[in-house]
Amino acid sequence: MSNNKEKHLVIIGGVAAGMKAAAKARRESSTMKITVVTDEHYISYAGCGMPYYIGDVIKDSKKLVVREPVYFKTMLNINVLTRHQAIAIDTRLKQVKVKDLERGNDIVFSYDKLIIATGAQPIVPPLPGVNLGNIFTLRTITDTLKIRTAVDSGKIKNAVIAGGGLIGLEMAENLTIRNIKVTVVELLDQILPPLDKDMSMIVQNYLAGKGVEIITSDGVKSFEGDGNTVTKVITGKRQLPADMVILSIGIRPNTKLAQDGGIGIGATRAIKVNERMETNVPDVYAIGDCAESTHLVTGKPAWIALGSTAGKMGRVAAINATGGNDTFKGILGTLIVKIFEMHIGKVGLSEREAIREGFTIESTIVPASDKSHYYPGAKDILIKLIADVASKKLLGAEIIGEGVVDKRIDVIATALTFSTTVDQISKLDLAYAPPYSMAMDAIIVAANVLNNKLLGKTIGILPRKVMEKREGGETFVLLDVRTDFEYKSGHIKGCQHIPLDKLASRFNELDNTKEIITYCRAGLRAAQAYRILTNAGFNNVKYMDGSISAWSYGLEK
């Protein structure tokens, strides 16, 4: 390692990426001078915990602030300057011009190494009335305290959330917990845009059951107020009462400072970096939500802002800035979110993304139990797996349900990192005991189902495709093979009903000239019915993946 004595590392940004880089740089070098500048009041805070403080799940705001500047100074000899805004980078002179926002004067810092961790900023569209009171974004601790104060006032009865992404839905949960009527307005035709629509629809139906109104395919146009405070949200199709609005439309990488300094921007409009987190300018690194990465499945540039990624990037940049050698290969877009009692996870490519990337895909949706079904507390999860037909490699997964989702998402994240085939996943030696999983874990069951489809042993069809056939006017037989009791408790409109145990003796009731699609509660009996019919000579049969458990379009009795 090179001698860092008297060398100066300047870090712009003091949240997840910046402070991780500062702390790691000090561990790597005891002598390097380290200065962090941030325009915020607070540093090193847990941004992902902010909705839970607003919902009073987390009682004390101080618990969101992991460290304060005095800790970094006394324990690590790192100078952290809050309320100091970097306003210019001169890469030729290797200087950063900084404005002291409290005193108003400018300071110039010379650097040997520079790490840019300027993060991302919320998108605030220039809509009429957007500057009215009680219209908030949620990005900083300051934002959080303002929203919490408004909620605590007891005056907020109706809240409108513009945007149905992760943060928007976390806020929907936490405001509902605070007895506020919540309406989510999403411009797209689905909430949770990273997920495929068939999975997001199940979440949407669940939220409706919790009292959250979801409006899709509609956008906010303007805001109206009484005096200085918002009272109404005007969308393209309706008017909504609102005592509070949360703008959760999205974020964009905060790159202006870097761009003005001649630092290169990538295809995603974030700062372009290599595996060492180096920019196109020597001795300048970029990390966190302002920096681009590489998607490990596609190999293409990707920008997905997550605190977990920020910390890893910060660590790598710090090692390299202090004379070491480390790399960060990329990301999979792994995410997880809790909305009330439902857990929603995604990793790798969705079906939609995989098709856009040019893959020919096969996918499946498989309901399963998160632990042995007879063990107390067992809960259902729904697993969607997407694979490349040519290579048989897994491309991505989406998992939702009230059961344990995170460990299955992490298994798939590990598998995707090493380009695993579906068959290899089906043979993983995963931990088993009744309190933790089924004898064949849900992931292995789902991989087996998908592998059978890839090998042509079965032909399944996703519920969304069945609905598209109906809407397109196609004629086919939708065959319910559940028991009489199950059928009467709720079935898909227009289906034909023959219980599985009667199927072999009632072939003559089926029209062999039409396509037959079988379904049951979760898919197992539908697949058995598929085999019975194909073995009997029916040549145009499919079973519905996930069956009723994955059907989000309503039932009739």
Active site residues: 48
CA distance 470 to 467: 5
CA distance 56 to 388: 44
CA 535 to chain centre: 42
What is the per-residue DSSP string for 91-128?
TTTTEEEEEETTT--EEEEE-SEEEE---EEE-----T
Structure tokens at 428: 């993983």
What is the per-residue DSSP string for 173-232?
HHHHHTT-EEEEE-SSSSSSTTS-HHHHHHHHHHHHHTT-EEE-S--EEEEEEETTEEEE
Structure tokens at 355: 């098709």
Sort 67 into a burial class: Cβ within 10 Å, 0-12 / 13-18 / 19+: middle
- Which residue in this structure is represented by tokens 């998908």? 450
- Which residue in this structure is represented by tokens 């519905």? 544
Type of residue numbered 213: E
CA distance 29 to 45: 24
Longest dimension (CA), the chain: 89
CA distance 547 to 195: 19
CB–CB of 488/515 below 8 Å? no
CA distance 513 to 344: 41
| β-strand partners of 442 | none
* CA distance to 298, 350, 353, per residue, from 356 (Å): 11, 10, 5
